[in-house]
């Protein structure tokens, strides 16, 4: 049977054509022209700083032995380097459907290269007079994309900044929420000496007479921020010496000063809090818990549904158990686009559960890990910032977005902090993630100086100005202003709404729907020979495939077969990419990640004996997971019909041949 020569996203092809260098370097002239123009412009800038000075490097050195030798050695090493780079993974090519990488958006790539010539350091405005503001502007653009308010006039006002990637943004989420959750207990130590009524300020039942730490730990972020502001105000009304002494006492009572061990021994009634993440969470959460000194043992995995989304009922049960144990919850993390399966957690349910438990005195921060799926919010965003209705979004797609997915995106504005990766679905070069906080006043809990110093400055300077001292409020120090420039310029050329950036995101989802349908046809054709199963309905632009030879009933044997297929799709270090037809990636679905029912369904669909899918790992013949092929569909040209048949059709053909040849 022939595949239909379908081009599902052809109307978007023309729109997107100028935006990438291209698989064949199709836009090479544009690229060259722009790079050369802005390089020359940079050189003029150098010369015009003090054009009356003579050049410090004399022209005669150009003819010296040393100079020629230097050029020689540099060229040799650059040739060696670029020869090595030829074994790189060809992310730019539509044959690459592996990890979360693709060709790069030209405006960002050029802004990045050009800005590097100026080498701004975004640790502070003094070292980056131009690009710190661009970083904060890019943060606002991303915060708006997520649906947060960014008008300083209304409250709360969000802010965002860039990190080296999603991992560090996740660390910052935990760092910010820790500061918020632990602050009130420290403030309680000086409150008897200040004229602040904590119950009135926080609108929660707090009493200085009650020694129980629980209600102080179970405040929402906004209430904590109100408390801090009231404390700062009360402090600023004190005589200087007393103010200093009380501020020092407050700072010395905080967890950031004491560390978790000392803090908890001072507040004996407070058990170490947990952080809850779905079972599918990125491994950076484990690292974050180790790094913060909480320990990965305090990371609680929330079970997922058979669609690989956080199970809200399980979360509810776990919250009830934790509350009964008197264990506080520092944060619940929801994932918008899981790294392994691209699935979208029910953010709306997490928000609703917080409402429910807040009424019973259990409160927690919500961090949204949208490293992968964050930019998909562009599909739901009106140019003015409003949320698009599901039906309106759905008109461009075959299946997307399910009402669950739409509700998840609609609920983002209620979470406290967010991670999003411009170097993933933002199509920017690696080295740029982002952290966003719904209420930017949370930064006042992180500042590296005492609260009253900050507030004295606060009276004169607005928050915008303060935040330009970026290094005080973020985890990193020196960092490239070029990434801020790249991100900002990209968002300016391609605003983060459905009419602009959203069209690129749209292509990726439409291509995913196309591949989804084609894979079902491939499965039909393979019937009787190989079982090809899509274990989870895609929520975004990522598809996983399970394959098992017909007649095989054992999980380890199936995994060996799938691994042989993957061997043909993977990037091998030192091997030229020309030796591959297509590129894919892999993942596993573990026994413990699935409910008994979901396991039974999956093994049944794959023709496996459920008894061979075990809870225990078993070395070489491991049977506690099912090996999956994983495809990320970022490249915008996957449905381009350069050979009369589009790349995805050709991939299905290839996969079919491969599956039959490795039986
Ligand atoms: C990629 C990813 C991360 C980590 O981001 P890096 O940019 O690789 O540091 C975290 N969480 C999720 C869900 C991701 O997809």
Run of H or E residues at 490: helix 481-493
pTM greater than 0.75 (yes/no): yes
User: How many angstroms does the Cα of residue 264 sit away from the middle of ligand 1?
Assistant: 31
CA of 151 to the centre of ligand 1 (A): 29
Interior angle at CA 542, CA 609 and CA 348, nearest 5: 95
- What's the whole-number average pLDDT of the chain? 94
Cβ(128)–Cβ(480) under 8 Å?
Answer: no
Cβ–ligand 1 distance for 371 under 6 Å, the answer yes
Residue 310 is given by DSSP the state B
Nearest to 476 by CA among 169, 140, 130: 169
Measured from the Cα of 281, ligand 1's closest atom is: 13
For residues 148 and 344, give the distance between their C-alpha atoms in angstroms, rounded to a whole number: 19
Cis omega before residue 156 (within 30°)? yes
What's the CA-to-centroid distance between 175 and ligand 1, angstroms?
Answer: 17
Tell whether ligand 1 has an atom less than 6 A from the beta carbon of residue 339. yes
Residue 586 to residue 627: CA distance in whole angstroms: 7
Is 1 or 43 the better-scoring residue by pLDDT?
43
Closest-CA residue, ligand 1 atom 5, reads: 166
Identify the three-state secondary structure at position 661. helix
Decide: 109 and 21 in contact? Cβ < 8 Å: yes
The predicted model gives 395-422 an average pLDDT of 97
Ligand 1 pocket member 375 (CB < 6 A): no
Q: Hey, what are 397's tokens?
A: 């797609």
Whole-number pLDDT of residue 5 = 40
Distance 348 CA to ligand 1 centre (A): 22
Those residues with Cβ within 8 angstroms of residue 461's Cβ, 6 or more apart along the chain or in another chain: none
pLDDT at 6 over 90: no
What pLDDT, in 10s, does the model give residues 219-256? 999 999 999 999 999 999 999 999 999 999 999 999 99
Say how many Å lie between the CA of residue 174 and the centre of ligand 1: 15
Angle at 307 between CA 306 and CA 311, to 5 degrees: 70
- Residue whose CA lies nearest to ligand 1 atom number 8: 166
CA dist., res. 8 & res. 633, Å (int): 14
410: its two tokens: 């609609």
CA of 154 to the centre of ligand 1 (A): 31
- pLDDT value of position 465: 84
Pocket test for ligand 1, best of 339, 422, 539 (most atoms within 8 A of CB): 339
Look at residue 302 in the predicted model and tell me its pLDDT. Answer: 97
**For residue 437, what are the β-bridge partners?**
159, 417
**Is pLDDT above 50 for 2?**
no
Percent of the chain residues topping a pLDDT of 90: 89
Determine contact, residues 302/279, Cβ cutoff 8 Å.
Answer: yes
pLDDT band at 452 (very low <50, low <70, confident <90, very high): very low
pLDDT of 377 above 90:
yes
Q: Pick from 284, 309, 408, 541 the residue to mutate for probing ligand 1's pocket: most ligand atoms within 8 Å of its CB.
A: 284
Q: How far apart are CA 179 and CA 441, in angstroms?
A: 12
Average pLDDT on 537-563 reads 96
- Choose between 449 and 403: higher pLDDT: 403
Residue 182 neighbours by CB under 8 Å, 6+ apart: 217, 254, 255, 256, 263
Contacts of 337 (CB under 8 A, 6+ apart): 343, 344, 370, 371, 372, 373, 374, 376, 539, 540, 542
The pLDDT of residue 455 is above 60 = no
Q: Is 166 in the pocket of ligand 1 (CB under 6 A)?
A: yes
Q: Is the pLDDT of residue 366 over 80?
A: yes
C-alpha distances in Å from residue 301, one per residue of 281, 335, 594, 602, 631: 8, 13, 13, 22, 25
Give the CATH class of 131-177+273-498. Answer: alpha beta
Query: Edge-to-edge strand order for the sheet containing 542-549?
Result: 530-533, 542-549, 625-632, 585-590
Q: Of 165, 168, 278, 347, which is best to mutate to test ligand 1, by the most ligand atoms within 8 angstroms of its C-beta?
A: 165
What H or E segment, with its residue span, contains residue 530? Answer: strand 530-533
Using the mean position of ligand 1's atoms as its centre, give its distance from the Cα of residue 644 in Å: 36
Using a 6 Å cutoff on CB, does residue 342 contact ligand 1? no
What is the residue with the minimal CA distance to atom 3 of ligand 1? Answer: 166
C-alpha 470/C-alpha 496 separation (Å) is: 24
As a whole number of angstroms, the distance between CA 289 and CA 295 comes to: 5
Residue 494's nearest CA partner among 381, 373, 339, 389 is: 381
Cβ of 369 below 6 Å from ligand 1: yes
Kindly report, residue by residue over 69-92, the tens digit of the pLDDT.
Answer: 999 999 999 999 999 999 999 999
430 Cα nearest atom in ligand 1: 7
Q: Atom 6 of ligand 1 has which residue's CA nearest to it?
A: 166
Compute, in angstroms, the gap from residue 548 CA to the centroid of ligand 1. Answer: 30
Dihedral through CA 309, CA 291, CA 476, CA 175, nearest 10? Answer: 60
CA distance 359 to 353: 10
Tokens describing residue 224: 């904590």
Cα–Cα nearest to 441, from 226, 656, 148, 168:
226
Give me the sign of the Cα torsion angle 297, 300, 304, 309: negative
Whether ligand 1 lies within 6 angstroms of the CB of 646 is answered as no
Contacts 24+ apart (CB under 8 A), 215-218: 215/361, 216/184, 216/185, 216/188, 217/181, 217/182, 217/184, 217/185, 217/270, 217/273, 217/328, 218/328, 218/361, 218/362, 218/363
- For the record, the structure tokens of 260 come out as 């978790």
Rounded to the nearest angstrom, the distance between the alpha carbon of 35 and the centre of ligand 1 is 30
Q: Which long-range contacts (CB under 8 A, 24 or more apart) does 590-593 make?
A: 590/624, 590/625, 591/615, 591/624, 591/625, 592/279, 592/624, 593/279, 593/280, 593/304, 593/308
Of 371, 420, 585, best ligand 1 pocket probe by most atoms within 8 Å of the beta carbon: 371
Q: What is the pLDDT of residue 1?
A: 37
Closest CA to 541 of 630, 633, 629: 633
Please identify, by atom number, the ligand 1 atom nearest to the C-alpha of residue 336: 13
Tokens of residue 514, six digits? 């196309």
The residues, ordered by sequence, that sit 6+ positions from 410 with a Cβ below 8 Å of its Cβ are 147, 348, 380, 387
- At 642, the pLDDT band (50, 70, 90 cuts) reads confident
CB distance 288 to 171 below 8 Å = yes
Q: Is the alpha carbon torsion for 207, 209, 212, 217 positive or negative?
A: positive
Q: What is the pLDDT of residues 436-451, one digit of tens each?
A: 999 999 999 997 664 4
Residue 559: both structure tokens together: 């995994």
pLDDT tens-place string over residues 500-515? 999 999 999 999 999 9
In terms of residues, how long is the chain?
663
Per-residue pLDDT tens over the stretch 273-324: 999 999 999 999 999 999 999 999 999 999 999 999 999 999 999 999 999 9
d(CA 101, CA 422) in angstroms, rounded, equals: 11
Three-point CA angle 11, 15, 17, nearest 5°:
110
- For ligand 1, the distance from its centroid to the CA atom of residue 653, given in whole angstroms, is 32
Residue 167 CB less than 6 A away from ligand 1: yes
Per the structure block, which two tokens stand in for 1?
């049977």
Distance 339 CA to ligand 1 centre (A): 7
d(CA 341, ligand 1 centre) in Å: 13
* CB-neighbour burial class of residue 256 (10 A; exposed 0-12, middle 13-18, buried 19+): middle
Q: Are 199 and 206 in contact (CB under 8 A)?
A: yes
- With bands split at pLDDT 50, 70 and 90, how would you rate the model's confidence at 462? confident
CA distances (Å), 492 to each of 47, 372, 430, in order?
Answer: 29, 21, 19
Burial of 30: CB neighbours in 10 Å, binned 0-12, 13-18, 19+: middle
- Name the segment(s) of the chain with CATH classification 3.40.640.10: 131-177+273-498
Contact by Cβ (8 Å): 451, 232: yes
Nearest-atom number in ligand 1 for the CA of 166 is 5
Q: Is the CB of 165 under 6 A from ligand 1?
A: yes
Determine the average pLDDT of the residues in 26-43: 98
């Amino acid at each position: 049977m022939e595949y239909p020569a379908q081009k599902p996203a052809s109307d978007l092809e023309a729109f997107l054509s100028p935006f990438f260098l291209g698989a064949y370097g199709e836009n090479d002239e544009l690229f060259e022209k722009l790079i050369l123009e802005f390089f020359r412009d940079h050189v003029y800038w150098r010369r015009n700083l003090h054009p009356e000075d003579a050049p410090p490097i004399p022209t005669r050195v150009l003819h010296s032995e040393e100079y020629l030798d230097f050029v020689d050695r540099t060229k040799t090493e650059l040739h060696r380097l670029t020869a090595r780079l030829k074994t790189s993974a060809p992310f730019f090519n539509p044959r690459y459907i592996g990890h979360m990488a693709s060709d790069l958006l030209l405006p960002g790539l050029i802004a990045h290269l050009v800005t590097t010539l100026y080498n701004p350091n975004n640790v502070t405005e003094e070292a980056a007079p131009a690009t710190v503001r661009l970083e904060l502007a890019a943060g606002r653009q991303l915060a708006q994309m997520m649906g947060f308010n960014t008008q300083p006039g209304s409250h709360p006002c969000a802010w965002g900044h860039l990190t080296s990637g999603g991992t560090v943004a996740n660390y910052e989420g935990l760092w910010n929420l820790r500061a918020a959750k632990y602050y009130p207990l420290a403030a309680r130590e000086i409150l008897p000496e200040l004229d602040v009524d904590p119950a009135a300020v926080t609108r929660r039942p707090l009493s200085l007479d009650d020694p129980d730490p629980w209600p102080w730990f179970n405040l929402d972020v906004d209430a904590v921020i109100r408390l801090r502001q009231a404390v700062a105000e009360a402090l600023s009304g004190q005589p200087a010496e007393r103010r200093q002494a009380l501020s020092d006492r407050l700072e010395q009572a905080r967890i950031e000063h004491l560390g978790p061990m000392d803090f908890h021994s001072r507040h004996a009634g407070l058990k170490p809090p947990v952080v809850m993440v779905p079972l599918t969470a990125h491994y950076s959460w484990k690292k974050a818990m180790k790094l913060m000194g909480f320990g990965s043992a305090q990371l609680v995995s929330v079970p997922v549904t058979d669609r690989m989304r956080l199970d809200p009922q399980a979360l509810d049960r776990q919250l009830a158990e934790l509350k009964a144990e008197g264990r506080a919850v520092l944060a619940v993390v929801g994932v918008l686009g899981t790294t392994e399966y691209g699935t979208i957690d029910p953010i709306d349910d997490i928000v609703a559960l917080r409402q429910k438990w807040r009424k019973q005195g259990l409160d927690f921060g919500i961090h949204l890990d949208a490293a992968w799926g964050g930019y998909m919010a562009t599909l739901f965003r009106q140019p003015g910032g409003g949320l698009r209705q599901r039906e309106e979004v759905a008109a461009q797609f075959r299946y997307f977005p399910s009402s669950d997915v739409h509700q998840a995106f609609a609920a983002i504005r209620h979470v406290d902090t967010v991670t999003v990766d411009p170097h993933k679905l933002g199509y920017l070069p690696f080295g740029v993630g982002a952290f966003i906080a719904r209420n930017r006043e949370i930064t006042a809990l992180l500042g590296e100086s005492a609260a009253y110093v900050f507030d004295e400055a606060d009276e004169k300077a607005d928050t915008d100005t303060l935040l330009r001292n970026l290094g005080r409020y973020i985890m990193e120090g020196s960092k490239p202003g070029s990434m801020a420039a790249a991100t900002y310029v990209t968002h300016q050329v391609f605003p983060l709404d459905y009419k602009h950036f959203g069209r690129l995101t749209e292509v990726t989802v439409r291509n995913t729907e196309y591949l989804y349908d084609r894979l079902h046809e491939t499965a039909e054709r393979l019937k009787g020979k190989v079982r090809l199963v899509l274990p989870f309905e895609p929520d975004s632009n990522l598809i996983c495939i399970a394959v098992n030879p017909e007649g095989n009933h054992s999980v380890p044997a199936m995994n060996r077969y799938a691994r042989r297929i993957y061997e043909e799709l993977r990037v091998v270090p030192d091997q030229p990419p020309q030796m591959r037809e297509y590129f894919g990636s892999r993942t596993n679905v573990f026994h413990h990640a699935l409910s008994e029912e979901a396991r039974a369904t999956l093994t049944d669909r794959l023709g496996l004996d459920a008894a061979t899918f075990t809870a225990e790992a078993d070395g070489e013949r491991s049977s506690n997971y099912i090996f999956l092929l994983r495809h990320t569909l970022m490249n915008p040209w996957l449905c381009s019909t350069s050979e009369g048949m589009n790349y995805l059709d050709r991939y299905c053909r290839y996969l079919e041949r491969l599956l039959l040849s490795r039986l």
